[in-house]
Structure 1
Amino acid sequence: MSLPVFKVEPGRLAGLGPGAALTVTGPEARHAVTVRRLAPGERLELVDGAGTRATAELRAGDRDSMEVGVVAVTTEPARTPRLVLVQALAKGERDLMAVETATELGIDAVVPWQADRSIVRWKKERAAKSHEKWVHTVAAAAKQSRRAAWPEVLPLCTTRELTRLLAEPGTRALVLHEEAHEPLAGLPGVAGTPWEDTGRILLVVGPEGGIAPAELEALAAAGALPVRLGPEVLRSSTAGPAAVAVLSAALGRWAPGSR
């Protein structure tokens, strides 16, 4: 059975080795001791969200504090190219559903996108609160899926800001669109060998009403390639995770022995 995972601050696991002692406090310790009711002698894993994982043994715990002894520490190298989900805001929290599932599937970063046809709007007074909700959703999904590296949630972007992201060096963008002719699974360089010259791949998913024609033109002009997943038209909550799964398999992320 998999060991339970708890997050510590970035850098807390640096330089630690077998036999080192570590004190963890706050909500994560409270969850381990009070909610999970772990007892001394039981093993758990600590992650720092940046790729470092420590297997540890609980020595003592009390409410919101626990003492652990480190058994082993490993660091997972950053994967390239990075997969970034650009998810348009959608009603009914379908955007959050997409972000949650994509996190479980291994996405490296997410970008909230205020598309022209997005019904949901992050107005000034709610923008920070809505962004924080995305951060919490990603954290919960990363912890549930036992990830050592947690996705970054970038600031909300408009279509104009998104085109600037697409123009950054080492970036390739794929826009999921039902009328595209190019199949995602058959792209040259993806089906077979990784895109070695690419630092990150942006997967752009529109809102419930689809991507507006003018937006699609702007994204294409910035270098984005419209692609389709298959004959079915997927919801905004499904398309992104489906594309992540296709690319993860094509890029060898899910090959035997990979992390």
Structure 2
Amino acid sequence: MALHFLLDQPVGAAPGDAVTLTGAEAHHASTVRRVRIGEEVTVGDGRGAWLTGTVESVAPREVIVRIDGRTDAAAPSPRIVLVQALAKGDRDELAVQAATELGVDEIVPWQAARSVSRWDAAKAVKGRARWATIVREAAKQAHRVWVPAVAELTTTAALARRAPESVVLVLEPTATERLSALAVEPDEERDIVLVVGPEGGIAPEELDALASAGARLVRLGDTVLRTSTAGPAALAVVSTALGRW
């Protein structure tokens, strides 16, 4: 499989045009991946454009690719959104990475009541940027045409307000309804939102608030999964139900 690289801006290149990798991406291509002149590669903009081309020149700060072909993919619909509670260590980051590889369309960091990790205003900016970097690299590794968005830090109240306009599925080990038993059907106007709690689980008052707003509490099986694995596991179930896999 050809090496894949990402541009930072939407690309309008057509066959015959040249695109230039610069900055960190050029360094990655030239120094880390050691691309060679004449090598076939793919280039995307993370917003649907998929280019195939041949490396024309290589320098540490600039790699030029001559475009041979182009396809444009529509954004996935319905979108699958992962609301990931902040967790200690790197468990939330592991969830973000795996979910990106598995096809999530948006990731929303959530300051849950039982989250050990706490983001103040400054940390929220840095944390979101860190998650966006993880998403970008995971999307590139997975050769994704669309790179998931990373939303701003959300609250339980904001999640509850989202429930009437989305299919909100809260992953809760004590729920009686299985995620695999749900009839998840495509609806272009409604996101499918998977909500994952922190290490200590979702607080009872949060479960009540989300359920009262219209969210459904569902479980994945008979075992209790870590916060780092619950989201990716649920994503696989929903992707299968939607026919993505």
**Which range, TM-score by smaller chain?**
over 0.9
1:7 matched to 2:6? yes
Report the counterpart of residue 247 of structure 1 in structure 2.
238
Query: For residues 197 and 26 of structure 1, do their structure 2 counterparts lie closer, same or farther at Cα, with a shift above 3 Å needed?
Result: closer
1:33 matched to 2:24? no
Report the counterpart of residue 96 of structure 1 in structure 2.
93
Shift of 1:222: 1.1
1:152 matched to 2:170? no
Report the counterpart of residue 69 of structure 1 in structure 2.
66
Query: For residues 65 and 205 of structure 1, do their structure 2 counterparts lie closer, same or farther at Cα, with a shift above 3 Å needed?
Result: same
Percent of residue pairs bearing the same amino acid type: 49
* Match for residue 199 of structure 2 among 204, 208, 216: 208
Shift of 1:80: 1.1
Give 3-state SS (helix, strand or coil) of 2:138's partner: helix
Gaps of 5+ in 2: none
| Contact 2:77/2:188, CA 8 A, preserved across alignment | no
Give 3-state SS (helix, strand or coil) of 1:54's partner: strand
* Match for residue 233 of structure 1 among 221, 224, 242: 224
Report the counterpart of residue 163 of structure 1 in structure 2.
160
In structure 1, what residue type is equivalent to 2:176? H
In structure 1, what residue type is equivalent to 2:75? A
| Contact 1:102/1:241, CA 8 A, preserved across alignment | yes
In structure 1, what residue type is equivalent to 2:3? P
Give 3-state SS (helix, strand or coil) of 1:140's partner: helix
1:126 matched to 2:123? yes
* Match for residue 177 of structure 2 among 155, 161, 182: 182
> What is the CA deviation profile of residues 96-145 of structure 1, one whole-angstrom value per residue up to 9, with x for unaligned ones?
11111000000000000000010110022322111111111111111111
In structure 1, what residue type is equivalent to 2:193? L
Give 3-state SS (helix, strand or coil) of 1:207's partner: coil
Shift of 1:40: 0.6
Q: What is the TM-score with the length of structure 2 in the denominator?
A: 0.96
Shift of 1:48: 0.3
Give 3-state SS (helix, strand or coil) of 1:112's partner: strand
Note the aligned Cα RMSD (angstroms). Answer: 1.2
Shift of 1:161: 1.5
1:21 matched to 2:18? yes
Shift of 1:10: 3.0
* Match for residue 87 of structure 1 among 84, 87, 94: 84
- The count of aligned residue pairs is 245
Q: Hey, what's the Cα distance between the residues in 1 that align with 2:173 and 2:22?
A: 48
Q: Hey, what's the Cα distance between the residues in 2 that align with 1:74 and 1:197?
A: 22
- The runs of at least 4 consecutive aligned structure 1 residues that moved more than 6 Å come to none
| Contact 1:89/1:114, CA 8 A, preserved across alignment | yes
Give 3-state SS (helix, strand or coil) of 2:175's partner: coil
Report the counterpart of residue 113 of structure 1 in structure 2.
110
In structure 1, what residue type is equivalent to 2:217? P
> What is the CA deviation profile of residues 233-255 of structure 1, one whole-angstrom value per residue up to 9, with x for unaligned ones?
1011110000000011110001x
Give 3-state SS (helix, strand or coil) of 1:246's partner: helix
Q: Hey, what's the Cα distance between the residues in 1 that align with 2:80 and 2:3?
A: 26
Q: Hey, what's the Cα distance between the residues in 2 that align with 1:138 and 1:8?
A: 14
Q: What is the TM-score with the length of structure 1 in the denominator?
A: 0.91
Shift of 1:197: 5.7
Report which stretch shifted further, 18-27 or 240-249. 18-27
Q: Hey, what's the Cα distance between the residues in 2 that align with 1:176 and 1:126?
A: 26
Q: Hey, what's the Cα distance between the residues in 1 that align with 2:143 and 2:95?
A: 18
Report the counterpart of residue 54 of structure 1 in structure 2.
51
